[in-house]
Amino acid sequence: MSIVLACDLGGTSFRAALVDETGATCAQHAIAGPASHDDRSGRSEIEPDAWWKLLTEACSGLAAEAPALFDAVEAVAICGVTRTQVFLDRDGWPLRAAMTWKDTRADAVAAGLRARLDPAHPESAAINAFHPLARLAWLREEEPEAFAELACLLEPKDYLNFRLTGRQASDPVSMARLLTAAAPHDGRDLLAAAGIPASILPAMLEPWEQVGGVQPGLPAPFDRLIGKPVFCASNDTWAAVVGLGAMREGFAYNISGTTEVLGVVGREPARAEGLLTVDWRGLFQLGGPSQTGADTVSWLLALLGRDGADVGQEIDALLSGPRQPQPLLFLPYLQGERVPYWDPSLRGALIGLNRQHGPADLAFAVLEGVACLNRIVLERAETALGRVATEIRFGGGAAANPVWSQIKADLCGRPVVVAASKEPGLLGAAIVAFTGLGRFASLAQAQEALVTVARRFEPDPARKPAYDALFALFRQAEAALAPISRDLVAAAQEGGPLAGLARHASAATVLHVD
């Protein structure tokens, strides 16, 4: 039996699994990820060593649960959360905490870069608070001493690969935005124009290429894997799309974890406003990550005081309740939005509340609001590609909920297909490892062999008129409330007219009327 160690470093958890050559998970260990250190300034950081501790703990759990299988591991592949930067010095030590995908402190710096850099460069318009170039420029301005010591920039999974092998490397998918910025346009590149040295870029490998072997001298249980090849892999979205079998022309994918990622896969590098076009090594994806998803459901459950038990069971219980004839509209922008708006100042809203609305109405509104955002991204991508997606491959934790799957199918008007693997990121990492080992001639061949379908949800024609009407109102609400969101955020910043409300509230005196 062939066994590989597949790992998925997510936004809120770390999962490791021993996967065999049929794609079956023989053993799995999951642990909660380190909480990011967030504050009102837009800061969101995690110490890189916290991820190394997670990898060590998860693999120790696997080695204890299935020692014979762990000793049979032939290769390692780690996929991981992206849009997160690890800053290393010349000796490979982290200079500071990593900036996570939620960090918005570079927003003003990004605006300045867009204003002064070459507007004709294809990456100029994409520079925002979440862009690695803006993060690097922010570091140069705000922490010049750390910037002066910067020798290499890695993604979290690259950092773990480095700790395992001693080699600093990444892949062109995970580093796509920075590589595009570094590409010359009319003899000029944005990296140099922004004062960022190209030397901070690590070596670039294909996801199925080997970074190196597990080096000696590491703590247990890695001493049992010395010399085993570690493959570069890629970000968690790319790996999950492979694990869903959606890495093929004309397919759409929707990964719903802490946040959602949606896109359409095509042969040509089409472009659409607000969407990312990324070379996925022979195919191109058009779409990208949002700031909303299953975490929005968790927020709702906490708001209703129902966050003490299983999230899936709690949302199922809410959805089984009575629903009022007049639905609610929910704008899901609780922490700004990435694709397709790239606006950290967008905020959420519940529209249409009346006295009869209850928990079930709120639950449906949240699921439908996220699905409306899915439809916006899907339609933009399809229009740019000039074709309709044949189906949406749906994965992640939310894919276990059949109500949400059907809502997505009905609102988007496309079949939603749920793969059998409950952890497509892990399966995708395993497919990378088996392909790198030469067990399959290509990723496409490995997908055909190892990915199976569990359920298919067809759009219900009877619901189309209602959902088309709801979607039209959703778009109207977005347009009307976006300026108010921005003004509200600006007014609440330090020195703004609303900045003191929270302080005044804590000191307020309650008057009792007899």
Taking only the tens of pLDDT, the chain with its 514 residues reads: 899 999 999 888 899 999 999 999 999 999 998 989 999 899 999 999 999 999 999 999 999 999 999 999 999 999 999 889 999 999 999 999 999 988 999 999 999 999 999 899 989 988 999 999 999 999 999 999 999 999 999 999 999 999 999 999 999 999 999 999 999 988 889 999 999 999 999 999 999 999 999 999 999 999 999 999 999 999 998 999 999 999 999 999 999 877 899 999 999 999 999 999 999 998 999 999 998 888 899 999 999 999 877 888 899 999 999 999 999 999 999 989 999 998 989 999 999 999 999 999 999 999 999 999 999 999 999 999 999 999 999 998 889 999 999 999 999 999 999 999 989 999 999 999 999 999 999 998 999 999 999 999 999 999 999 999 999 999 999 999 999 999 999 998 878 899 888 766 555 555 454 4
CA 404 to chain centre: 19
pLDDT at 472: 98
- Contact between 100 and 46 under an 8 Å Cβ cutoff? The reply is yes
3-237: in CATH 3.40.228.10: no
The domain over range 247-420+460-495 is classified in CATH as 3.30.420.40: yes
Continuous H helices in 72-220: 107-116, 132-142, 144-149, 156-165, 176-182, 190-193
Residues 6+ apart with CB under 8 A from 307: 298, 301, 314
Tally of CB atoms within 10 A around 462: 8
Looking at residue 513, its pLDDT comes to 47
Please tell me the pTM assigned to this model: 0.86
Nearest to 395 by CA among 367, 366, 416: 416
Helix 294-303 and helix 311-319: axis angle, to 10°? 70
Q: What pLDDT, on the 0 to 100 scale, is given for residue 255?
A: 92
> Tokens 């109405």 — which residue?
361
How many Cα neighbours within 13 Å face the side chain of 365?
Answer: 25
Amino acid identity, position 152: C
Which ranges of 386-423 does DSSP label H, i.e. alpha helix? Answer: 402-412
Domains 3-237 and 247-420+460-495 share a fold: yes
pLDDT value of position 397? 84
For 297, the token pair is 């459901």
Q: Give the residue among 489, 208, 203, 455 at the shortest CA–CA distance from 345.
A: 489
Contacts of residue 401, Cβ cutoff 8 Å, sequence gap at least 6:
312, 315, 316
Asked if residue 80 lies in contact with residue 425, where contact means CB atoms within 8 angstroms, the answer is no
165 CB contacts (<8 Å, ≥6 apart)?
Answer: 211, 212, 213, 214, 215, 230
Burial class (CB in 10 A: 0-12, 13-18, 19+), 100: buried
Q: So what's the pLDDT on residue 10?
A: 87
Residue type, 353: L
**For the chain, domain boundaries:** 3-237, 247-420+460-495
Report the pLDDT value the prediction gives residue 511, as an integer from 0 to 100.
47
